[in-house]
Amino acid sequence: MHGPLAHSSAPEMTAPARQRSDGRVQLRVGLARPGGATRILDLAEAGPSRLRFPRGTGAPEAVLVNTAGGVACGDTFAIDLTLEPGAELVLTTTAAEKIYRSDGPVSRIVNTLHLGEGAGLAWLPQETILFDRARVRRRFVADLAEGAALLAVEVVAFGRAARGERIGDGLFADSWRIRRGGRLAYADDLLLEGPISDHLARPAIGGGARACATILDLSAGAEARLEEARTRLAEAASPGTTAAASAWNGHLAVRALGDAIGPLRGLVARFLAGYRGLPMPRVWQS
Reported as a single tens digit per residue, the pLDDT across 147-188 is 999 999 999 999 998 888 999 999 999 999 999 999 999 999
Task: Tell me if residue 240 falls in helix, strand or coil.
Answer: coil
Cα–Cα distance for residue pair 202/187, rounded to 1 Å: 24
The answer to the question of residue 62 being in a domain is yes
pLDDT tens track for 48-91: 999 999 988 889 999 999 999 999 989 999 999 999 999 999 99
What mean pLDDT comes out for the span 40-53?
97
Of 78, 97, 141, 76, give the one whose Cα is nearest residue 115.
141
Domain region containing 103? 22-285
**238 domain-assigned:** yes
Total domains in the chain come to: 1
In this prediction, residue 18 carries a pLDDT of: 64
What does DSSP say about strands 211-218 and 149-158: parallel, antiparallel, or unpaired? antiparallel
| Residue 51 domain flag | yes
The C-alpha atoms of residue 203 and residue 195 are separated, in whole angstroms, by 15
Q: Is residue 5 very low, low, confident or very high in pLDDT (cuts 50, 70, 90)?
A: very low
Q: Can you list the alpha helix ranges (DSSP code H) found in the chain?
A: 196-201, 226-236, 261-276
**250 in a domain, yes or no?**
yes
Q: Is there a domain that residue 63 lies in?
A: yes
User: Is residue 14 situated within a structural domain?
Assistant: no
Spatial distance between the Cα atoms of 56 and 38, rounded to a whole number of angstroms: 13
Amino acid at 247: A
Q: Does a structural domain hold residue 110?
A: yes
Strand pairing of 170-180 and 183-194? antiparallel
Residue 88 inside a domain? The answer is yes
- Global pTM? 0.92
